[in-house]
Amino acid sequence: MSVILLSSDEALPFRLEDLGLSPTHLRETLVVGDAAPQEMLKQLEELGVGPNLRDLLVRVYGGHVWQIDVALDCLSEALEAGDEADVLRGPMDSIQNAFALWEGQKGDNGRLVDVLVEVARCGFYPLDKDDALSRVLTKSNVCTFLANGTKEFFIDPGVRLRRSGVMASTQLTRVLIPVVLQQRNLFPARFGVL
Protein backbone atom coordinates (compact mmCIF):
# COMPACT_ATOMS: atom_id res chain seq x y z
CA MET A 1 0.00 0.00 0.00
CA SER A 2 1.27 3.48 -0.82
CA VAL A 3 0.20 6.41 1.29
CA ILE A 4 1.29 10.03 1.00
CA LEU A 5 1.19 11.71 4.38
CA LEU A 6 1.46 15.50 4.57
CA SER A 7 1.98 17.28 7.85
CA SER A 8 2.89 20.74 9.09
CA ASP A 9 4.00 19.22 12.41
CA GLU A 10 7.69 19.73 13.17
CA ALA A 11 7.58 16.66 15.46
CA LEU A 12 5.98 14.25 12.98
CA PRO A 13 8.19 11.21 13.79
CA PHE A 14 7.41 11.60 17.48
CA ARG A 15 3.67 12.07 16.86
CA LEU A 16 3.58 8.91 14.74
CA GLU A 17 5.34 6.97 17.50
CA ASP A 18 2.89 8.33 20.08
CA LEU A 19 0.06 6.99 17.87
CA GLY A 20 1.72 3.57 17.80
CA LEU A 21 3.05 3.87 14.23
CA SER A 22 6.68 3.19 13.50
CA PRO A 23 8.42 5.85 11.39
CA THR A 24 10.74 3.06 10.18
CA HIS A 25 7.87 1.89 7.99
CA LEU A 26 8.08 5.12 6.00
CA ARG A 27 10.04 4.52 2.83
CA GLU A 28 10.84 8.14 2.19
CA THR A 29 10.49 11.38 4.13
CA LEU A 30 10.89 14.77 2.52
CA VAL A 31 11.00 18.00 4.51
CA VAL A 32 9.90 21.06 2.55
CA GLY A 33 9.68 24.09 4.79
CA ASP A 34 9.75 27.02 2.41
CA ALA A 35 8.67 27.90 -1.09
CA ALA A 36 11.34 29.44 -3.30
CA PRO A 37 11.48 33.24 -2.76
CA GLN A 38 10.45 33.99 -6.36
CA GLU A 39 7.46 31.67 -6.08
CA MET A 40 6.47 33.26 -2.75
CA LEU A 41 6.73 36.76 -4.25
CA LYS A 42 4.53 35.66 -7.15
CA GLN A 43 1.93 34.14 -4.79
CA LEU A 44 1.85 37.28 -2.64
CA GLU A 45 1.43 39.47 -5.72
CA GLU A 46 -1.50 37.29 -6.86
CA LEU A 47 -3.05 37.76 -3.41
CA GLY A 48 -2.86 41.53 -3.85
CA VAL A 49 -0.02 42.24 -1.43
CA GLY A 50 1.83 45.41 -2.40
CA PRO A 51 5.44 45.27 -3.60
CA ASN A 52 7.07 46.78 -0.49
CA LEU A 53 5.20 44.51 1.93
CA ARG A 54 5.76 41.36 -0.09
CA ASP A 55 9.49 42.13 -0.42
CA LEU A 56 9.72 42.68 3.34
CA LEU A 57 7.75 39.52 4.13
CA VAL A 58 10.03 37.40 1.95
CA ARG A 59 13.15 39.03 3.42
CA VAL A 60 12.00 38.27 6.97
CA TYR A 61 10.16 34.95 6.54
CA GLY A 62 11.70 33.56 3.36
CA GLY A 63 9.15 31.38 1.62
CA HIS A 64 7.61 29.97 4.79
CA VAL A 65 3.91 30.04 3.90
CA TRP A 66 2.60 29.52 7.45
CA GLN A 67 4.76 32.26 8.99
CA ILE A 68 3.77 34.72 6.26
CA ASP A 69 0.10 33.86 6.76
CA VAL A 70 0.40 34.44 10.51
CA ALA A 71 2.23 37.74 9.93
CA LEU A 72 -0.43 38.97 7.48
CA ASP A 73 -3.19 38.05 9.95
CA CYS A 74 -1.36 39.87 12.74
CA LEU A 75 -0.82 42.95 10.57
CA SER A 76 -4.47 42.95 9.47
CA GLU A 77 -5.78 42.66 13.04
CA ALA A 78 -3.45 45.42 14.25
CA LEU A 79 -4.50 47.70 11.40
CA GLU A 80 -8.20 47.18 12.16
CA ALA A 81 -7.61 47.81 15.88
CA GLY A 82 -5.35 50.80 15.24
CA ASP A 83 -2.65 49.02 17.21
CA GLU A 84 0.98 48.01 16.73
CA ALA A 85 1.68 44.55 15.32
CA ASP A 86 4.18 42.20 16.94
CA VAL A 87 4.92 39.69 14.20
CA LEU A 88 8.00 38.26 15.92
CA ARG A 89 6.27 37.28 19.16
CA GLY A 90 5.17 33.80 18.01
CA PRO A 91 8.60 32.55 16.93
CA MET A 92 10.24 34.12 19.98
CA ASP A 93 7.64 32.47 22.24
CA SER A 94 8.48 29.11 20.64
CA ILE A 95 12.11 29.49 21.69
CA GLN A 96 11.07 30.54 25.21
CA ASN A 97 8.71 27.53 25.32
CA ALA A 98 11.63 25.23 24.53
CA PHE A 99 13.39 26.52 27.64
CA ALA A 100 10.26 25.99 29.75
CA LEU A 101 9.79 22.43 28.47
CA TRP A 102 13.48 21.59 28.96
CA GLU A 103 13.57 23.09 32.46
CA GLY A 104 10.38 21.14 33.27
CA GLN A 105 12.30 17.96 32.44
CA LYS A 106 15.21 19.11 34.63
CA GLY A 107 17.38 19.42 31.52
CA ASP A 108 20.72 21.22 31.53
CA ASN A 109 20.23 24.74 30.14
CA GLY A 110 23.88 24.84 29.08
CA ARG A 111 23.28 21.94 26.72
CA LEU A 112 20.14 23.55 25.31
CA VAL A 113 22.04 26.80 24.72
CA ASP A 114 24.88 24.95 22.96
CA VAL A 115 22.42 23.18 20.65
CA LEU A 116 20.49 26.39 19.91
CA VAL A 117 23.71 28.27 19.11
CA GLU A 118 24.72 25.58 16.61
CA VAL A 119 21.24 25.51 15.06
CA ALA A 120 21.43 29.31 14.64
CA ARG A 121 24.96 29.15 13.27
CA CYS A 122 24.72 26.11 10.97
CA GLY A 123 21.00 25.42 10.70
CA PHE A 124 21.50 21.87 12.00
CA TYR A 125 22.59 19.96 15.09
CA PRO A 126 23.05 16.17 15.18
CA LEU A 127 20.76 14.57 17.77
CA ASP A 128 19.38 11.09 18.14
CA LYS A 129 15.63 10.58 18.03
CA ASP A 130 15.76 9.08 21.51
CA ASP A 131 17.36 12.23 22.91
CA ALA A 132 14.79 14.11 25.03
CA LEU A 133 16.08 17.39 23.61
CA SER A 134 14.92 16.34 20.13
CA ARG A 135 11.34 16.09 21.39
CA VAL A 136 11.54 19.40 23.27
CA LEU A 137 12.86 21.34 20.28
CA THR A 138 10.29 19.87 17.89
CA LYS A 139 7.36 20.07 20.30
CA SER A 140 8.02 23.79 20.76
CA ASN A 141 8.31 24.25 16.95
CA VAL A 142 11.85 25.61 17.20
CA CYS A 143 13.24 22.74 15.14
CA THR A 144 12.24 20.00 12.74
CA PHE A 145 13.56 16.51 13.39
CA LEU A 146 15.40 14.86 10.50
CA ALA A 147 15.89 11.09 10.60
CA ASN A 148 18.98 9.69 8.87
CA GLY A 149 17.17 9.11 5.58
CA THR A 150 15.07 12.28 5.57
CA LYS A 151 15.63 14.42 2.50
CA GLU A 152 15.76 18.20 2.79
CA PHE A 153 17.23 21.00 0.71
CA PHE A 154 18.22 23.58 3.31
CA ILE A 155 21.35 22.31 5.02
CA ASP A 156 24.80 22.04 3.52
CA PRO A 157 25.46 18.31 2.99
CA GLY A 158 28.93 18.84 4.49
CA VAL A 159 27.28 19.99 7.72
CA ARG A 160 24.60 17.33 7.95
CA LEU A 161 26.59 14.34 6.70
CA ARG A 162 23.36 12.29 6.44
CA ARG A 163 23.04 12.27 10.23
CA SER A 164 19.82 12.46 12.16
CA GLY A 165 19.28 15.65 14.11
CA VAL A 166 17.35 18.88 14.25
CA MET A 167 17.23 21.80 11.87
CA ALA A 168 15.72 25.22 12.48
CA SER A 169 12.02 25.18 11.67
CA THR A 170 12.41 28.49 9.78
CA GLN A 171 15.20 30.87 8.84
CA LEU A 172 13.53 33.45 11.09
CA THR A 173 14.00 31.08 14.03
CA ARG A 174 17.73 30.98 13.28
CA VAL A 175 17.87 34.77 13.43
CA LEU A 176 15.82 35.02 16.64
CA ILE A 177 17.70 32.39 18.66
CA PRO A 178 20.59 34.78 19.53
CA VAL A 179 18.07 37.50 20.41
CA VAL A 180 16.27 35.24 22.89
CA LEU A 181 19.57 33.98 24.31
CA GLN A 182 20.72 37.55 24.84
CA GLN A 183 17.41 38.48 26.51
CA ARG A 184 17.89 35.53 28.89
CA ASN A 185 21.54 36.53 29.49
CA LEU A 186 22.59 33.16 28.07
CA PHE A 187 24.34 34.26 24.88
CA PRO A 188 27.76 32.59 24.98
CA ALA A 189 30.58 35.04 25.71
CA ARG A 190 32.75 33.43 23.04
CA PHE A 191 30.47 35.00 20.42
CA GLY A 192 30.67 38.51 21.85
CA VAL A 193 27.74 40.87 22.27
CA LEU A 194 24.92 41.32 19.76
Give 142-187 pLDDT, tens digit per residue.
998 998 888 887 788 999 998 999 999 888 888 899 999 999 998 7
- DSSP per position, 86-136: -TTHHHHHHHHHHHHHHHHTT--HHHHHHHHHHHHHHSEEE--TTSHHHHH
pTM: 0.75
Q: How far apart are CA 146 and CA 124, in angstroms?
A: 9
Please work out, in degrees rounded to the nearest 5, the angle formed at the alpha carbon of residue 157 by the alpha carbons of 165 and 162. 45
pLDDT digits (tens, 9 = 90+) for 44-83: 999 999 999 999 888 877 777 877 888 888 888 888 888 8
